[in-house]
Amino acid sequence: MPTALIILLCLLSLCPIIITADGPLLLPFIPLLLSGGLIIVSKKLPPGEMQHLNSVFSRPLIIGAAIPAGWMIVQMLPLPFLANPIWTSVSPGLPRGVTGSISVDIGATALALVHYLSAAGMLLFAAAVTVNRERAETILISATAAAALVSVACLVQDLFVEGYFGINILAHREQAFDIACLGVILSAACGLFVFERHETRGVGTRGARRKFLLALAACLVSFVLCAGAIAVTRAGSLIFAAGSGFLTFIAVAAIRRWALGRLGAAAISVTAAVIAIALVTVAASDPDPRFAFVKKSRASIELTQRILSNAPFFGVGAGSFMSLKPIYQSGDPSARDAVVVTAAAKLSGEMGKVMLWFAVLAASMGVFVLLRGASRRGRDSFYAAAAGACLVTLMILGFINTAVTGSAIVLLSGAVLGLGLTQSKSRVVS
């Protein structure tokens, strides 16, 4: 399995590269590396680890993950009776015309399907590699390091490069700050990991104490970098998203640490209630919750609203939202740079409103499974707790911007969720 671990580390190392160096030759490496890694683990994974993996990936989880992929395939099929008649009348304005399918751009939908399968593959690959505890430790540290590097790029951009040189070193700015939000949680998880390992393995020698303090200091530096990157944006929505995930992690860690039992469960319930009330309060200020946290240009909001107003029940096809931009954008020159405002609006328009709320429900269930797994573990609970907390943050970020669907954050979150899922259950080593 060393080869599979190296491949997973290479995929994580792509995150900072994608953020700072955009290019068409970079992204094809992701499915290539993933396919090679999955082939290796399918042949080399020990029977005991494979049995544990089978127990983690239950049938409901597999069926739930297959539903979006199946729906994308249906959207590409030539089914004229499901296609929206309005697209026929505006066919000349579309990049490739209309083929009688739900999707207005089959090529874009096919690419979206590849992107989704890559995300699912990353989660499965990470789960298979991190069944082993030593490999799990390596991936947690590597994921935190990747988030910290991205946060450094954010700070350099906002504090030095942009102000003094007027250039942009971030190819995907929103995605970079979303990764910083996850980095806050991962840094806290690394800190707890270092502390627990010192408790169980550490000895009273000066060298052991020095190693412990250096590792703890590294976690603190990573946390400060990630939190600082979010702070310089002065975006309350990003601070709220990162804070919600961080508080979720702290609540679970406290319950496990001090064996709070029912009192701890009540604390998590109160935390969840506070987050939910805050979300509902903000969403109530806007008639459409898909726009409640948006801080984009007016042109982008209006473009997204116009497309959504005509989007059929079955959606316009995954990945094809912006194919409708030439038809719906206004004549205002400022509208040329308009983009879709949130991942929630994008998913709703492309896959249908039902799929949006299915995704929210599935993510909520995922949070429940991960946090329940964390509460049941005697040690190593920080893996599942961090994954559940990151999923909370990702859910909120989906209503803030579109960056949660970006390649870099998909790689990082896929690794973290796969790690948390496979470590949410104790493995009996025979």
* Reported pTM: 0.89
**Burial grade of 124 (CB within 10 A; 0-12, 13-18, 19 or more):** buried
Residue length, the chain? 430
Predicted pLDDT of residue 180: 94
Predicted pLDDT of residue 95: 54
CA dist 235 and 232 (Å) reads 8
Predicted pLDDT of residue 429: 54
Predicted pLDDT of residue 373: 86
Predicted pLDDT of residue 136: 92
* Residues of the chain with confidence (pLDDT) below 70: 1, 23-25, 81-100, 161-167, 202-204, 258-297, 329-338, 378, 427-430
CA dist 50 and 33 (Å) reads 21
Percentage of the chain lying above the pLDDT 70 cut: 78
Query: Is residue 19 within 8 Å of 170, Cβ to Cβ?
Result: yes
Which sequence spans correspond to the domains of the chain?
Answer: 2-422
What are the backbone dihedrals phi and psi of residue 353, each rounded to the nearest 5 degrees, phi first? -60, -35
Q: How many CB atoms lie within 10 A of CB 92?
A: 8
Predicted pLDDT of residue 198: 81
CA dist 115 and 203 (Å) reads 47
HSE-CB of 14 using CA atoms within 13 angstroms: 28
